[in-house]
Chains A and B, each alone.
Chain A
Amino acid sequence: MIKYHKVSKVYSRQDKAVLKDINLEIQEREFVTLVGYSGAGKSTLLKMIYAEERPTSGDVYFYKTKINKLSRRKLPKHRQQIGTVFQDYKLLPQKNVWQNVAFAMEVAGKSEEEIAEDVPQIIDIVGLKNKSHKYPEELSGGEQQKVALARALVNRPKILVADEPTGNLDPISTWEIMQLLLKINEYGTTVVLATHDKDVVNRIARRVISMDKGKIIKDDAHGRYCI
């Protein structure tokens, strides 16, 4: 589904390679964890999936399309197939839970009927049924991340990219989010998770890709955190 072929990334300003000759394949319905220290290149690798970054050399494929060759015009359609969640949630403070989730559908051009049908469903799935009229500031960190997750999923993406989604959360919330990610994965969505939370990685025991200094140093099908 996702394929990195000889991908390198050099930032011209720093003249330092962030990614060095990455070759990696991610299959449909897989749950992949990317681990490594800060600066190992996890985020850059993820950003290439939703075309926020482009490789300096090499290609990144989404099925048969080269993501790095997508024109600006085709980019939005590509991004609608990808859900994203981040450490900082990226919610709109002046919109409530319902509106934040609906926003993604509005932007994607979905009809009002579809929005009215899908938004409550997804809010229910992430367990915020009773809080859909609350504003982000009235929610806990874990709840905010659930809203972000609902927003990422509401357009039914084929793949969910999660960059340190539990970085700001307490262990209980972290575990709730992880269970949601696993559930989403069971429903058929590919999940790519970058984290440096050792417990999380060890408990879920899925494919673990370890990165260091821009290189993949280990790729285990049922791995443990071992850096």
Chain B
Amino acid sequence: MWLQIKRTIKFAINNIAHNYWLAIATIGSIAIALFIINVQIANLMANNLLLEDIQNKVNISVYLKPEVNDEAGREIARKIESYPEVEKVNYVSKEEAFEKFKKDTANNQVLQEALDEVGDNPLGITLNVKARNSEDYPKINEKIKQDTFQDKIESINYEEYKGIISNLNEEIRSSQKITIILAVILSLIAVLITFSTITITIYTHRKEIEIMKLVGGSNFFVSAPFVWEGIIYGVIAAVISTAASYGYLQYIIKNSSDGSLLSLSSARFIKQFLETYLIRNWAIIILSQLLAGIFLGVTSSLISIRKYLKI
């Protein structure tokens, strides 16, 4: 058996060497498909990290009017905390808010002077509301606005975050869709190209195949070289695409400068993604690349063999 495997691999390598331009085109097309899929997935994962990060930081800050006292403030906090969507409410008293404000504006001369002028604490109680799920913020926002204590609210800062969160959610959802569609289309193209390459190989070796069958070559022996050919294409393409994807992601990290949302996700979070996720899971990633490459190669060979080898 081992001898047969060795021989069929030898035949496969001969076949590839015989038609190396075709081989290069085939490997290239599988590699490009895998590369684009990789970059899409990396981008998607980086966006997820970004979203997670923002979700952890985001909350709705409810500023109560200055005249609302501590007791009424705590009552409102309890009420908001009883919403099923709310994870917790962080209560910031007037004094804490004032201290924090003073600290934050310590090097702003004008504000410091203005505070001295007022003398009293002009700030109200702040309630920092954290949702269980970032998608629930609009709902919580509406609930707070319509609750019985709405006349005690000075303002809610939700609107500033609203844009970012919904944009991000949308971006992630659409890039998920794009990733899936791209993956399917590119895989199909790669399979088609590999399929035609192997069909050409079968065609150019039809005499050899005829003789193999005539002298009693087993079905395994006759078809195995073409399966190996597909595997070899897949493996080489996987190696190339892994290296290319890694290089490309590194390049993005180094070269993204503007602070747009996309480059934020593409740079900082791709970096995080590379450093934490990729490096920790390199074995799984390389393995999955190889499997994806082999899958594409072998699928194409099998279709071609079924169609043209009549085994």
Interface, chain A (partner B; CB < 8 A): 50, 72-73, 75-82, 84, 90, 92, 103-104, 106-109, 111-112, 151-152, 155
| Contact A109-B207, Cβ < 8 Å, known A50-B214, A77-B216, A104-B215 | no
Select A90's contact among B4, B210, B217, B219, beta carbons within 8 Å: B210
List 16 other contacts, CB 8 Å, given A92-B211, A109-B3: A76-B216, A78-B216, A79-B213, A79-B216, A80-B215, A84-B215, A90-B207, A103-B211, A103-B215, A104-B211, A107-B216, A108-B216, A108-B217, A109-B221, A111-B3, A112-B3
Residues of chain B lying within 8 A (CB to CB) of residue A108: 215-217
Verify if B166 is at the interface (C-beta below 8 Å from A): no
29 contacts between A and B (CB under 8 A): A72-B219, A72-B311, A73-B219, A75-B216, A76-B216, A76-B221, A77-B216, A79-B215, A79-B216, A80-B216, A81-B216, A84-B214, A84-B215, A90-B207, A90-B210, A104-B211, A104-B215, A107-B212, A107-B216, A107-B217, A107-B221, A108-B215, A108-B217, A109-B218, A109-B221, A111-B3, A112-B3, A151-B215, A155-B216
In the complex, the 5 A-B pairs of residues with the closest C-beta atoms, listed nearest first = A80-B216, A79-B216, A107-B217, A104-B215, A76-B218
Interface string of B214-229 (1 = CB under 8 A from A): 1111110100000000
A92 to B14, CA, bound (A): 14
Residues of chain A lying within 8 A (CB to CB) of residue B213: 76, 79
Name the distance in Å between B53's Cβ and chain A's nearest Cβ: 59
Interface, chain B (partner A; CB < 8 A): 3-4, 7, 207-208, 210-219, 221, 311
- Which of chain B's residues has its CB closest to A84's CB? B214
- Contact B214–A90 (Cβ < 8 Å): yes
A114 to B201, CA, bound (A): 30
- Which of chain B's residues has its CB closest to A95's CB? B208
Name the distance in Å between B70's Cβ and chain A's nearest Cβ: 87
A78 to B214, CA, bound (A): 10
Name the distance in Å between B4's Cβ and chain A's nearest Cβ: 6
Name the distance in Å between B208's Cβ and chain A's nearest Cβ: 6
| Contact A90-B311, Cβ < 8 Å, known A76-B217, A106-B7, A107-B221 | no
A106 to B208, CA, bound (A): 13
A90 to B215, CA, bound (A): 11
- Which of chain B's residues has its CB closest to A52's CB? B214
- Which of chain B's residues has its CB closest to A103's CB? B211
Residues of chain B lying within 8 A (CB to CB) of residue A104: 211, 215
Between B7, B211, B213, B311, the greatest number of chain A beta carbons within 10 A of the residue's beta carbon is seen for B211
Residues of chain B lying within 8 A (CB to CB) of residue A73: 219
Name the distance in Å between A99's Cβ and chain B's nearest Cβ: 11
- Which of chain B's residues has its CB closest to A92's CB? B208
- Which of chain A's residues has its CB closest to B4's CB? A109
- Which of chain A's residues has its CB closest to B10's CB? A106
Residues of chain B lying within 8 A (CB to CB) of residue A77: 216
Name the distance in Å between A68's Cβ and chain B's nearest Cβ: 17
